[in-house]
Amino acid sequence: MSLKLTNITKSFKDDLVLNQVSLSVEKGQTLVLFGPSGAGKTVLLRLIAGVIEPDDGTIEIDGLDMQGVEAEHRGIGMAFQNFALFPHMDAHANIASPLTARKQTKDAIEAGVQKLAKLLKIDHVLSHQPKELSNGQKQRTALARALAGEPATLLLDDPLRNVDAKLRFEMRLELPRLLKDQNATVIYVTQDYKEAMAFGDTIAVMSGHGIQQVGTPADIYLSPGNIETARLFGDPVINLLDVRPEKGAQGLQVQISQTPVSIAEGYSNAVDTDCILGIRPEALRFVDKDMPGAFPVIVEAETPLNEKTVNLMRTVNGRELMLSRPAGSPGPSEGEAYIAVNTSDAMLFEKTTGNRIEPLHAAAKSGDSA
């Protein structure tokens, strides 16, 4: 285990920021810390970097307890969200700073800087001061600086947040390869679920002072641990409806639009409790009226969203639903319509706690075919 956090707690004055956070990352793996702003992601990175100390808990890097180890001795590279370039040094000196700290020879420093600058395509602006660089160049300089010391642990604090859309897109493609080449243990902070899914071997979802769920990107998307996580992942956001599962003629069912809709048999333990049904917009589809499980809605609007088309609809009871389908696929843009959902794609959450109800496994399988 390359990096291991155990029960990290940190508060600033009376504000609890992190409460009993535990995490571990294997060597060479990328862990994405994903969560809304204020969730404590940046604080966690700073704790790992050693520029602030936790109130409680331990941080281990390569099996060594980092308590009392100064930031400069932790073998870490870090890129900051606001770049944090040294404003009085040119790009070259910025990138070279981890190398000068290691007292390397002039030639070694020069070679190291040139190699990274070429790789990140900033070799033509090395003599520029930070204020003369574009945002994209700043971001690449900051990244080069983080990589220059060939750190065993790399902390990237939302490095793509402050760059324009085109560059963000390019870097989303380049960065994972670059990180793999470094063979470093990477912690990548982001608020963008697409970035999280693209970069992470593992994703840790943070909110409310702690980690909600840790899992592979597919895990997090397909079986979010609670409503919070389900809501954070996905665009448009997941549809959430208040329901009360009941036993009907066709097995387990819920009422949507005053129509019974089957859900997986595995949820039998949730019968007659208040629940929230979560359906991803892409799990809904337009169907014919006679199709089993079809329920009526009123389509209110249609919006193109990149490669998708999103419909905003209302159920008979006036609750909002969103449906997303590939752009260009047929579907009504307004008026009455019928939609359906695959039984296996509907998730149930406890209304009181917001936690996802785990379907009983064997039953879930048989429900799949329905």
Partner 1 sequence: MEQVSTLERILRGIAISFVIIFFMFPILWIFLMSFQTNETILQVPPQLFFEPTIVNYEGLITGQLETAAGSLKIEFMGNLFNSLFLSTAAVIVGLILGVPAAYAFARLKFKGSEDIAFTLLSFRFAPPLLVLLPLTIYFQKIGLADTYVGLIWVYQLIVLPLILWIVRGYFEDIPADIEYAYRIAGHGFWSTFRKIALPLAGPGIAAAGLLAFIFSWNNFIFALVLASADKQPVTVGALAFITASGINYGQIAAGIVLSIAPTFALAMYAQRYLVEGLSLGAVKG
Give the binding site for partner 1 (CB under 8 A).
Answer: 46, 49-51, 70-72, 74, 76-78, 80, 82, 84-88, 97-98, 101-102, 145, 148-149
Q: What token pair was written down for 81?
A: 């969200």
Q: How far is the CB of 33 from partner 1 (least distance, A)?
A: 17
Q: How far is the CB of 76 from partner 1 (least distance, A)?
A: 6
From the CB of residue 111, how many other CB atoms can be counted at a distance below 10 Å?
13
Pick between residue 73 and residue 121 the one whose CB is nearest to partner 1. Answer: 73
Q: How far is the CB of 102 from partner 1 (least distance, A)?
A: 6
Distances (CA, A) of 97 to 141, 192, 302, 310: 12, 30, 52, 48
CB 203 within 8 A of CB 197: yes
Q: Rounded to an integer, what distance in angstroms lies between the CA atom of residue 95 and that of residue 113?
A: 6
Of 343, 310, 339, 338, nearest to 237 by C-alpha is 310
Q: What token pair was written down for 55?
A: 């109130």
Q: How far is the CB of 139 from partner 1 (least distance, A)?
A: 14
Pick between residue 84 and residue 370 the one whose CB is nearest to partner 1. Answer: 84
Q: How far is the CB of 141 from partner 1 (least distance, A)?
A: 11
* DSSP assignment string, 64-109: EE-TT--GGGS-EEEE-TT----TTS-HHHHHHHHHHHTT--HHHH
Pick between residue 97 and residue 255 the one whose CB is nearest to partner 1. Answer: 97
Of 313, 288, 164, nearest to 236 by C-alpha is 313
Pick between residue 39 and residue 78 the one whose CB is nearest to partner 1. Answer: 78
Q: How far is the CB of 40 from partner 1 (least distance, A)?
A: 16
Pick between residue 85 and residue 211 the one whose CB is nearest to partner 1. Answer: 85
Pick between residue 146 and residue 276 the one whose CB is nearest to partner 1. Answer: 146
CB 213 within 8 A of CB 226: yes
- Number of alpha helices (DSSP H) and beta strands (DSSP E) in the chain: 9, 21
